[in-house]
A and B are shown apart, each in its own frame.
Chain A
């Protein structure tokens, strides 16, 4: 047995001695998110954004005289894969990660990053406890948290649509149910309206008739839906077939071309909360133009946030003068930077100040901001 231990130690030492030599000359940034599978449309735009921006920065000589190397990992939005790819990034000596995209996967991966002191900047993980619990001091995000979004939807339904009996339906997922719960809480707190129905539906089921019948029976005058676009459009199609006309409001998971495409004319008049309109910011215009020049189409969901996260990371590295964990944290929390989502600065818990939500409505096949 003792020879075995000796041999093992020797092997480990030999390997340990060879690896660090590679690390010194580049700054490594990880980009994690779903790059394959059915949630890939939410992950790929961030990947494209980081790739584009880093190529630009590297062409200009990099940061602090160092080139930046991007490492892409695919977590398919699955927690167990996320921990594996997080380990991989940590193993490769990454100091900053742009990602992950889904809240569940992010939470799973944070355990690894926290121990390894890696800064994580997510473009899209909106789950409130990520910042509010205080468990993850190394977590930052360039998108507002779900509870803000839920509150926004609730206030809008109560004050602008004058709804008194509100129905809430969610897809039982982390994201959808979170949104639904925060809306419910806000409605109950306001005291001005009542939640008459609160139901979870099975994503992928072929029929939601029972839920719709219940909606009519309860006489709801607004429906808040927490979930993604396939279920939203299925609900809308069934509602329209049954001639039920109740204002429908969803989270940013339905605010995109995917929803408009599937729901078609059923989408008309639907409300959705989404990140504030940022398309006028000069940096945003530039990023979109670059993207269009390169890929010949409009960028997808979370592109702006991904771009902003990469900008924030680069700025922090520049200000901190390196990749020291504490210096990076200080830099992120102290500097105000111009990004594709406006002027932002991170607060003590990692939420970006200066980003928020507004309400949109589908009018003539496009989302228009409701003033």
Chain B
């Protein structure tokens, strides 16, 4: 019965919390007070029910686990499908082919010469996939918490917009330039601050992100100020004239190619000498330095490489939208990209892709429930961290030890 009592207390507590904010609404214009008691009762009831179920389910799980231990079964024998997939090269290659084919024909299936809305949405989402993968290098692999990542995206976008406007440079010339420019910024900004501890690094990068936005807003002559820059040329294709849909398709394939390239490069990086150095640094800085890893260079390379991808995709963003202004580069966007990395599972490429697509596409198609969108989004972030802190797909480390003979279930070679 203590169960019931505790749940009741929780329900009552939430009713108490709800009292001013959810019940009373003061209308200052006509001097009326609105009392919405039903809200409080609903919340109290839901909290009670949730607490009750939660307790019941944890108890059952505990009982089952106790049983399992008694029977001598290992607790973690079950592997998720994603991990099984990554352990079976044949299966994962086949799946990769299917996904690639689907991505290639996707725009032809969903678009017509009039209706290419879905393609445009997909381009926006894929841009964030690249951003997520780029930040994954900095945060996921090297463990450097960057809360101002969107600034590098802005650097790329503005590089293209300004070069195209002032010097008439084309998209393909600017694409690498945008990346290099962002990388350069990453190195210049990163140099003085990389010796800071994790949380200090977080606030300083956040500061850099804000400064970038303010500078863009304030200098009208150079960056177009708050009004932004309009009329940015779309990517050119050997001087061919493209109609609206073809332009979207073209952007789609460019960004898709960039996604593929990013996946390829991060995958190779992950298993390279520098990648191991990053991960080692993330796990234990002191031990890592003692082993002879050059800390400054390793950290700086992670920071700069992450910035490079943001710069590249920034150029595509500017070209795809024709228009940029500082409003697209706020702290909320940085937080969004960081959430993609963490929700997807730090360091896991597949996880980041899934998370980025989900976070960008769901709101786009959930406009009907737009009001509750952000509320749910915040709650999901908290719940994910509590119930699945390793993310959607946890980043399995390559194991080098041989599995003991008596636990022979084939995986983990």
Residues of chain A whose beta carbon lies under 8 Å from any beta carbon of chain B: 4, 7-9, 11-12, 15-16, 19-20, 36, 74, 78-80, 83-84, 87-88, 90-93, 103-104, 107-108, 111-112, 115-116, 127, 135, 172-174, 177-178, 200, 202, 257, 261
Residues of B231-251 at the interface with A, using a CB-CB cut-off of 8 Å, are: 231, 243-244, 248
Interface of A is mostly: helix
Q: Is the CB of B367 within 8 A of A172?
A: no
Give the docked Cα–Cα distance between A116 and B28 (Å).
46
Give the docked Cα–Cα distance between A88 and B110 (Å).
13
Residues of B208-256 at the interface with A, using a CB-CB cut-off of 8 Å, are: 214, 217-218, 220, 225-228, 230-231, 243-244, 248
Contact status of A174 and B226, CB under 8 A, knowing A19-B112, A92-B115:
yes
A135 surroundings in chain B (CB, below 8 A): 231
Q: Please tell me if B116 contacts chain A, counting CB pairs below 8 Å.
A: yes
Expressed in whole angstroms, the minimum distance between the Cβ of B411 and any Cβ of chain A is 35
B124 surroundings in chain A (CB, below 8 A): 80, 84
Q: Please tell me if B327 contacts chain A, counting CB pairs below 8 Å.
A: yes
Q: Is the CB of B108 within 8 A of A12?
A: yes
Expressed in whole angstroms, the minimum distance between the Cβ of B181 and any Cβ of chain A is 21
Expressed in whole angstroms, the minimum distance between the Cβ of A180 and any Cβ of chain B is 11
Residue contacts A-B, CB under 8 angstroms, 26 given = A4-B104, A9-B108, A11-B105, A12-B108, A12-B111, A36-B370, A79-B228, A79-B323, A79-B324, A83-B321, A83-B322, A84-B120, A84-B124, A87-B116, A91-B114, A91-B115, A108-B230, A108-B323, A127-B227, A172-B218, A172-B226, A177-B220, A177-B225, A178-B227, A200-B218, A261-B29
Expressed in whole angstroms, the minimum distance between the Cβ of A324 and any Cβ of chain B is 17
Interface of B is mostly: helix
B336 surroundings in chain A (CB, below 8 A): none
Residues of chain B whose beta carbon lies under 8 Å from any beta carbon of chain A: 28-29, 101, 104-105, 108-109, 111-117, 120-121, 124, 214, 217-218, 220, 225-228, 230-231, 243-244, 248, 321-325, 327-328, 364, 367, 370-371
Q: Is the CB of A108 within 8 A of B327?
A: no
Q: Is the CB of B117 within 8 A of A88?
A: yes
Give the docked Cα–Cα distance between A83 and B248 (Å).
12
Q: Is the CB of A11 within 8 A of B114?
A: no
Q: Is the CB of B327 within 8 A of A19?
A: no
Give the docked Cα–Cα distance between A116 and B113 (Å).
11
Q: Is the CB of B327 within 8 A of A93?
A: no
Q: Is the CB of A16 within 8 A of B112?
A: yes
Give the docked Cα–Cα distance between A9 and B370 (Å).
35
Q: Is the CB of A172 within 8 A of B244?
A: no
Contact status of A36 and B371, CB under 8 A, knowing A108-B230, A257-B29:
yes
B28 surroundings in chain A (CB, below 8 A): 261
Give the docked Cα–Cα distance between A116 and B226 (Å).
27
Nearest residue (CB) in A for B225 is A177
Q: Return the contact of A107 from the options B105, B109, B323 (Cβ within 8 A).
A: B323
Expressed in whole angstroms, the minimum distance between the Cβ of B4 and any Cβ of chain A is 41
Give the docked Cα–Cα distance between A90 and B231 (Å).
19
Give the docked Cα–Cα distance between A19 and B115 (Å).
9
B105 surroundings in chain A (CB, below 8 A): 4, 7-8, 11
Q: Is the CB of A16 within 8 A of B231?
A: no
B120 surroundings in chain A (CB, below 8 A): 83-84, 87
Contact status of A111 and B323, CB under 8 A, knowing A12-B108, A80-B124:
yes
Q: Is the CB of B108 within 8 A of A11?
A: yes
